[in-house]
């Protein structure tokens, strides 16, 4: 595993998402009940930025066509999406969010 710094824990708002670029990869970071999750930021349907979507519970709704993904697993839940989004392992070290891109 190669852990890369993605953000500070406090940069990620509770119940919402931010977009970051790690080693050239666009990622979305989410904080759900204090736990950080990371997915690829681009929707598998037409590449909208999921971090600009709407987080509800443990799902994110794409801002373009309302496709919904389960954040912890990346599986498509509803809407026009059928391909899962990639999810990345996350580790917290002190106040820093580390993501494994491998
Ligand atoms: Fe995300 Fe179409 S781009 S649902």
CB neighbourhood size of 43 (10 A):
26
pLDDT tens, 10-39?
999 999 999 999 999 999 999 999 999 999
The CATH number of residue 72's host domain is: 2.102.10.10
Domain that holds residue 88: 3-94
CA distances from 79 to 22, 43, 52, 83 (A): 28, 12, 17, 11
What ipTM is given for this predicted complex? 0.98
Number of domains into which the chain is organized: 1
Atom of ligand 1 nearest to the CA of 48: 3
| Residue to mutate (ligand 1; options 43, 44, 51, 60; most atoms within 8 A of CB) | 43
DSSP state of 9: G
What value, to the nearest 5°, has the Cα angle with vertex 102 and ends 97 and 81?
A: 85
Residue 101 within any structural domain of the chain: no
Residue 100 within any structural domain of the chain: no
Atom of ligand 1 nearest to the CA of 43: 1
Residue 102 within any structural domain of the chain: no
The residue nearest atom 3 of ligand 1, judged by CA position, is: 46
How do strand 3-8 and strand 25-32 relate by DSSP bridges? Answer: unpaired
pLDDT tens, 66-99?
999 999 999 999 999 999 999 999 999 999 999 9
């Amino acid at each position: 595993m190669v852990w890369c710094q993605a953000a500070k824990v406090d940069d990620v708002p509770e119940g919402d998402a931010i977009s970051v670029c790690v080693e050239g990869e666009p990622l979305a970071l989410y904080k759900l009940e204090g736990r950080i999750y990371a997915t690829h930021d681009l929707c598998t349907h037409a590449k909208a930025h999921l971090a600009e979507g709407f987080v509800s519970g443990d799902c994110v709704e794409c801002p373009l066509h309302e496709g919904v993904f389960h954040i912890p697993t990346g599986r498509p839940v509803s809407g026009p999406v059928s391909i899962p989004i990639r999810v990345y392992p996350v580790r917290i070290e002190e106040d820093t969010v580390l993501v494994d891109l491998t």
